[in-house]
Amino acid sequence: MTRRFVLASLLSPFVVAGLTAQHQQLMYVMGSDMPAPVQTSTEGLATSGWWRPISSAIIPGSGQLMAGQDRGVIYLAVEAFLLVQVFSSRGQGEAERDRYTGLAFDVARAPFAPARRDTVFEYFEELERFVDSGPFDTDPGPVLVPPINEFTYNGSIWKLARETFLPDPAVPDTSSVEYQRALEFYRGRAVGPNFQWSWRDAGLEQNLYSQSIKRSDDAFRNSTQYLGLLLANHLLSAVDAFVSYRLSGNGKTVQMESAVRRVRGTTGVIEAQLGMRVEF
């Protein structure tokens, strides 16, 4: 009952705006023993007509329905369809994200960090690229000695640091300023002990991880595309209502058709296209 009252309150300005000056309604003020009629004038709103595009910008199709145009139902149907797709795609993306982060915590990171500690998305992308993060420091002493295995993540970072700062990456001078800069570069980008990982002896889980992270990316991308189409539907409905209002003053009519269709793009991602045809 409360939801119906709120919806009626939100839509009442637009419903009133669609009335003509000759169709004035009597509204009753509740709270007394006898309902008291109150005369309400809608001449200012009805004659302006600007409420139609404004209404359509807020609720697509409402401005068309005010003008008695059946195509307003199409805009409302498109709005409902796109809203369902936005929330459905986002829900799928979040479910896949929970799945691949769960694999990362329970399999790849379990031997190194029993406590779950979340981090940025780029970290989880590196888990897909590298089987092993490698140790942060290969020397148990106080001096930092990065790993040299270039097939691990930390080893690849140290290789990049040497190639960037050292004159001779193959024979580094540990006492040089360039070497210290390379170490600073490594410290800022390498994975520390609390975030080490390894997919060794867990090839199946890493494959499932890669599939899940791809499905999550695709779902969030679809959600963004549908959100853009949702905003476009608001804009098209508002333009439709505005054009119809302006042409109606000149005794002309406008016929507009819109449609939404789903197609599979070249990357395999589901894409939606919104089209409109205008005839005067």
SS (H, E, C) the chain: CHHHHHHHHHHHHHHHHCCCCCCCCEEEECCCCCCEEEECCCHHHHHHCCHHHHHHHHCCCHHHHHCCCCCHHHHHHHHHHHHHHHHHHHHHHHHHHHHHHHHHHHHHCCCCCCCCCCCCHHHHHHHHHCCECCCCCCCCCCCCCCCCCCCCHHHHHHHHHHHHHCCCCCCCCCCCHHHHHHHHHHHHHCCCHHHCCECCCCHHHHHHHHHHHHHHHHHHHHHHHHHHHHHHHHHHHHHHHHHHHHHHCCCCCCEEEEEEEEEECCCCCEEEEEEEEEEC
pLDDT given for residue 133 in this prediction = 96
Beta-bridge mates of residue 260: 274
**The model's pTM:** 0.65
pLDDT given for residue 255 in this prediction = 54
pLDDT given for residue 245 in this prediction = 83
pLDDT given for residue 9 in this prediction = 33
The CA-based dihedral angle spanning residues 216, 220, 226, 230, taken in that order and rounded to the nearest 10 degrees: 150
pLDDT given for residue 204 in this prediction = 95
Q: How many CB atoms lie within 10 A of CB 59?
A: 18
pLDDT given for residue 41 in this prediction = 44
pLDDT given for residue 107 in this prediction = 94
Residues of the chain scoring pLDDT < 70: 1-48, 114, 249-280
pLDDT given for residue 42 in this prediction = 42
CA distance 244 to 68: 11
pLDDT given for residue 47 in this prediction = 46
